[in-house]
Amino acid sequence: MSFNLQKIRSDFPILSREVNGYPLVYLDNAATSQKPKQVIDAIVDYYSNYNANIHRGVHTLSQEATDAYEAARHKIQAHFNAKEACEIIFTAGTTHGINLVANGFSEILKKGDEIIVSAMEHHSNIVPWQMLCEKTGAVLKVIPMNEEGVLVFSEYKKLLSNKTKLVFVNHISNALGTINPIKKIIEKAHQVGAAVLVDGAQSCSHIKPDLQKLDVDFYVTSAHKMCGPTGVGILYMKEAWGNKLAPYQGGGEMIAEVTFEKTTYAGLPHKFEAGTPNICGGIAFGAAIDYLNEIGFEAIEAHENELLKYATEQLLEIEGLKIYGTGPDKTSVVSFNIEGIHPYDIGTIVDKLGIAVRTGHHCAQPIMDFYKIPGTVRASFAFYNTLEEVDALVNAVKKAKMMLS
Ligand code: C6P
C-alpha cells in the first residue's frame, strides 16, 4: 500500500466521531492506539464464527481457533525476526511480561547481584525490579540521563561489572520520546555476562525491531499500542532463557504431566502460558501486525517524523513553552509545559476543543522529579494523524494559554 493518509484514516471508525462538538483529534497514541476496522473485523469474525478454547478440543471449532492463534504467533515471530516461534510467549501485555521475567530471576539472583535500569523508565520497569531486589537482596542501579532526556552512556559503562546480572531499559521513553541506543546497551551488558530485557511498549508502533540482530535476551510489548486490542502482548525470550527460567504461574496447558507427587512442565512457549489465554486478542494482534506491515514501517516512520518536526517547530513558537525530551533520536512524542500553568488545566481546555492529550507524570515519576515538575502535557502522534491536527493542537494550546495566564 502506498501511504494514502485519507484511505488510512477511513480505516479507523473512531476518527470520524466528534468530541464536545469538534472533530476528534486523537493525540494520546502513546497511551493506546486506535483500532482499524481490519482489527475490529478480526475480533467480530472470531466471536461470530469460531469461538472455542484452544489446544484442548478435537472438534472443528477448537482446531480452527488453535490454528488461527498459532498462525498469529508465527506472524509475530516473523515480524520481530525471532529465531523460533516458541520464543514468542503471549502475555496480557508489557507489564505482565516484565513481571514474568522478574519472577523467573527471583530464583537466579543472589544477595549482592546487581540489576541496572535507566532513569527514564515507566513504573512498570521500576517496581517489579524493586520487588525483586527486596526478595533477593540484589541491588538496583540507575543509568542517569542528562537535561536533554538522553541516557549518559559513559555512566552506564561505569555501572557494569561482573556483579551485573540484568540490564533493563526501554527502547523508547513514553514520557520523552527518546530512542535509546539499545544495540550498544546490549553489547556492553553481554561483555560482562549480563542479560538484557528491553521494554518495547513505545517502540513497536513506530519501528520494527529485529530481535536476532539486536541479540536481546528478552523483549516485551503490548498489542494495544500497535493498533491491536488491550489485554494481550508478547514476551520474546531466547530459547535458552525460556528453558532456564521457572514458570510464572501454574495451571492448565503449562504442564507435561501432573500427579500429586510431582508435576513436570510443558516446553516453550506453553510453560509460560498457564490457563485459557486471550485467544481473540492474540488473533487480533496478528491482524494488527498485518495491517501495519501493509502500510510499511518506513512510511510510518517518515510520516511520524514529519509530524514530530512540524509539531515541535509550531509549539516552540508559543512563548513560555518548554519541551522535555530534546535529544537527537526521538519518536513522535512531544511532552511540554507552559510556564506558570498546570499541565492538567491545559489538558482540560484542549479536550473541550476535541483534542485528546495525556497530562500528568505518565507513570514515569522519576523523570518528573528530575525536571522538578509535577507533570507535562504529552501529545503523541501516530501515522494516522495529520498536519492539520497539529495545527488544531497548537491553536488550542494558544487558546488555553490565553485563558489561563
Ligand atoms: N504506557 C502511557 O500512557 P501496559 O500497560 O502493560 O500495556 O504497558 C505498560 C508500559 C510499559 N512501558 C512503557 C514504556 C509504557 O509506555 C507503558 C504504558 C502508557 O505512556 C500507559 S501508562
pLDDT of 206-241, one tens digit each?
A: 999 999 999 999 999 999 999 999 999 999 999 999
Confirm or reject: Cβ of 362 under 6 Å from ligand 1. yes
Looking from the CA of residue 170, the nearest atom of ligand 1 is 14
What contacts 10, CB < 8 A, 6 or more positions away?
Answer: none
Residue 184, pLDDT above cutoff 80: yes
**Which cell numbers hold the place of 13?**
471508525
Confirm or reject: Cβ of 222 under 6 Å from ligand 1. yes
How far CA 195 is from CA of 25, 165, 321, 345, in Å, comes to: 41, 6, 40, 43
Cα(31) to ligand 1 centroid in Å equals 7
pLDDT tens digit sequence for 26-44: 999 999 999 999 999 999 9
Q: What is the DSSP letter of 342?
A: -
pLDDT tens digit sequence for 41-72: 999 999 999 999 999 889 999 999 999 999 99
Assigned CATH for 40-293: 3.40.640.10
Confirm or reject: Cβ of 363 under 6 Å from ligand 1. yes
pLDDT tens digit sequence for 274-326: 999 999 999 999 999 999 999 999 999 999 999 999 999 999 999 999 999 99
For 232-243, the DSSP string reads -EEEEE-HHHHH
Nearest in space to 277 (alpha carbons), one of 41, 1, 54, 125: 54
Ligand 1 pocket test, pick from 28, 122, 361 with the greatest ligand atom count within 8 Å of Cβ, gives: 122
Residue 176, pLDDT above cutoff 70: yes
The answer to whether the 5-30+296-404 and 40-293 domains have the same CATH topology is no
Ligand 1 pocket test, pick from 118, 174, 178, 226 with the greatest ligand atom count within 8 Å of Cβ, gives: 174
Architecture of domain 5-30+296-404: Alpha-Beta Complex (3.90)
Confirm or reject: Cβ of 358 under 6 Å from ligand 1. yes
Q: What is the pTM of this model?
A: 0.97
Averaged pLDDT, 99-124: 96
Q: Let me know if 140 is exposed, middle or buried by CB neighbors in 10 A (0-12, 13-18, 19+).
A: middle
Task: Supply the mean pLDDT for the chain.
Answer: 97
Averaged pLDDT, 143-164: 98
How far CA 53 is from CA of 45, 196, 252, 397, in Å, comes to: 15, 34, 12, 49
Averaged pLDDT, 259-286: 95
Nearest in space to 135 (alpha carbons), one of 110, 115, 163: 110
**Which cell numbers hold the place of 339?**
510556564
Ligand 1 pocket test, pick from 33, 120, 124 with the greatest ligand atom count within 8 Å of Cβ, gives: 124
Q: Tell me, what's the pLDDT at 360?
A: 95
What contacts 275, CB < 8 A, 6 or more positions away?
Answer: 249, 251, 252, 253
Q: Tell me, what's the pLDDT at 56?
A: 83
CA angle (29, 32, 33) in 5-degree steps: 60
What contacts 177, CB < 8 A, 6 or more positions away?
Answer: 308, 325, 330, 331, 332, 333, 334, 335, 380
Looking from the CA of residue 225, the nearest atom of ligand 1 is 7
Q: Would you please indicate which residues are annotated as catalytic (active-site) residues?
A: 363
Confirm or reject: Cβ of 174 under 6 Å from ligand 1. yes
> Per-domain residue ranges for the chain?
5-30+296-404, 40-293
Q: pLDDT-based confidence at 1, cuts 50/70/90? A: low
| β pairing state of 333-338 and 321-324 | antiparallel
What contacts 15, CB < 8 A, 6 or more positions away?
Answer: 9, 24, 26, 34, 384
In the chain, the percentage of residues whose pLDDT exceeds 70 is 100
- The residue with cell 511540554 is 336
Q: In sequence order, which ranges of 106-170 are alpha helices (DSSP H)? A: 127-136, 153-159
